[in-house]
Amino acid sequence: MAPILSMQNVTKRFPGVLANDRISFSLDQGEVLAFLGENGAGKSTLMNILYGLYSPDEGEVAVRGQPVQIHDPNDAIRLGIGMVHQHFQLVPVFTVAENIVMGTEPTRFPFSWKTMGLAGGVSAAVFLVGRLIVGGYALLAPKTAQAAEAAVPITGLGLVWEALLAGLIAGAVVAGLYGLVNLLGFLTRWKFRIYFPVVAAAGAIMLSALALYFKAQNRIPLFIFLAILFAAASYPALKVISTALDRRTASRRIQALSDQYGLSVEPDALVGTLPVGIQQRVEILKTLYRQAEILILDEPTAVLTPQETDELFEIMRSLEAEGKSIIFISHKLKEVMTIADRIIVLRNARVVGETKPAETSEEQLAEMMVGREVALVVDKGPASPGEVVLEVSGLTAIDRRQQPALRGVDLFVRAGEVLGVAGVQGNGQTELVEVLTGLHLATGGSIRIMGHDVTNAPPRQVTELGVAHIPEDRQRDGLVMSFPIYDNLRLVTYYQEPFADGPTVRFDDVYGYADRVVREFDVRTPSIALPAQNLSGGNQQKVIVGRELSRPIKLLIAAQPTRGLDVGSIEYIHRRLIQKRDEGCAVLLVSAELDEIMALSDRIAVMYGGRIVGTMDADQVTREELGLLMAGAQLEQEKQEVTVG
């Protein structure tokens, strides 16, 4: 049986970069095929070719054994290919249903045949009652000639029968006009080049026939002109009227898909109010709504909590059981080993290996990815804590929905230690980091850094105290996407030496610094002048990490520092974080990766419901106990906790 999808010798070049080099692979129906590779190895480029966002320079794509040309995403969708991007393509102010059906909206004429009958009936009743009232009033009080004339039936049928006839004619006229509009609205489903001649010809024939009947042959040219004008003008107006979004049908279809695949969503909920995990379900439903048989999931777990990742894997298994084929792109070895049927490894734009989970190990996959042996376990010695660098007392804040986000947070971080903050996403970690770095206002409590009160201080003041910040949302808070790499690398110190001398920019120093950081942190780019938006997500993260760790700092606040990075880069970043700790820097680490928290932290604080519900030494707590705290439970015995002073 032929594979449902195959790519043969696909090559893609960008200026100065060979992104894909003669890549070949196949995908079987009902299979989960995982792609592993370093940042910049070519995984996303290959998938963008498959989805029609890029065109290959060489090679062939076949779907169900037939060679195809995919020029744009519409071609991919018609072939049954759907893609869930690493950064969601959703409109926050739209509902779930509106996001899912966008571009393929089910439409309906805004007025039904039932409405037509109602309109005709009301018109008939109005004319009937009106004629009876006018005639009856005239009969009762015929004081004037006009009243006497109104009381006389026009048709000679009697007042009641004439009223009935008036109502019948009025109802028929209204219903007829309504039916004509409905018919013309239906005809607008045709293209204009079909609609226009048909309606113009029909109108010209009908009006010409009426002109002949009433012996007004001299007006036939005028009637033909009016028919042509009506056909031209009615098309856009009726096209708009007849394409109203059928919300009921859309919600019904989405609910059916949701039930079929276990993707629980509320069709009428605003996307902007949904957790990240639910937004991802919306993205998957978008592809299924378009009848995709091949799903591309690009780094789908990068922004998910462990619980949401487990839920995603259950969804993937149900899709696989339904016969869907899935391409799964990830940097996380454990996830690939858990969910994949086959694994393909890319390095330097080429396929360097193909295997199955049962035939390999995480260590072997890591070595294939980076071309060397990788230490998957963080090598760190015991901490030597010094003076308190960051002290937070009774900190409170509200989120953007004006709901309490922080409810009296107390914590401290000392020089030479890593305090890890664990917790399910949405329990106040984001607001905590933003308040500490001056990006969000606190409503109560205090923040002291190196003894200085910086509660609600602006970000520059916080930065100038020697604070580095690796933000959770790299594109919103970490980079100016249209700026080149060299400008992004000096965003927080652009006005200081050696980058500036008063109003003058020292470009030689800027370029030299950028070249050094790009090499040191292995940012895959053909030029430091490349805009940040042209980098892969992992390389964007490396730019931020390189910027923050390449200057003298006293406190590092790192939120999801390895999100989207490959295993080799994660190893390097972990080593640099521990190096900063050993140099005497205080490190506050916020991560959704529990393994990362346990591997790097000297102490661990767990957040739940906007509070710190427990703080303990990392070597005295188990993964299971942390999981209980993250779920809101209390440990039976308090772990040893270090206190200030």
- The per-residue DSSP string of 582-609 comes to HTT-EEEEE-S-HHHHHHH-SEEEEEET
Those residues of the chain that have pLDDT short of 70 are 1, 105-167, 170-171, 173-179, 182, 185-186, 188-189, 240-245, 303, 305, 375-376, 633-645
What local confidence, expressed as pLDDT, does residue 644 receive?
41
What local confidence, expressed as pLDDT, does residue 351 receive?
94
What local confidence, expressed as pLDDT, does residue 164 receive?
67
- The per-residue DSSP string of 402-456 comes to S-EEEEEEEEEEETT-EEEEE--TTSSHHHHHHHHTTSS--SEEEEEETTEE-TT
Residue 361 is encoded by which pair of tokens? 């190990």
With CA atoms as reference, report the closest residue to 319 among 285, 271, 274, 282: 285
What local confidence, expressed as pLDDT, does residue 241 receive?
65
With CA atoms as reference, report the closest residue to 474 among 563, 593, 569, 600: 563
What local confidence, expressed as pLDDT, does residue 186 receive?
67
What local confidence, expressed as pLDDT, does residue 131 receive?
54
Residues 492-549: tens digit of each pLDDT: 999 998 899 888 999 999 999 999 999 998 898 889 999 999 887 778 989 999 999 9
What local confidence, expressed as pLDDT, does residue 449 receive?
96
Residues 302, 332: Cα–Cα separation, whole Å: 9
Residue 630 is encoded by which pair of tokens? 């993250």
Residue 501 is encoded by which pair of tokens? 């001398």
Tokens 């993260």 map to which residue? 541
What local confidence, expressed as pLDDT, does residue 175 receive?
67
What local confidence, expressed as pLDDT, does residue 117 receive?
62
Domains and CATH numbers, the chain: 5-80+293-370 (3.40.50.300), 108-245 (no CATH), 375-466+552-645 (3.40.50.300)
Strand partners, 590: 421, 559
What local confidence, expressed as pLDDT, does residue 467 receive?
96
Per the CB < 8 A criterion, the answer to whether 311 and 300 are in contact is no
Report which secondary-structure segment, H or E, holds 565: none
What local confidence, expressed as pLDDT, does residue 198 receive?
85
What local confidence, expressed as pLDDT, does residue 451 receive?
93
Per the CB < 8 A criterion, the answer to whether 121 and 171 are in contact is yes
Residue type, 225: F
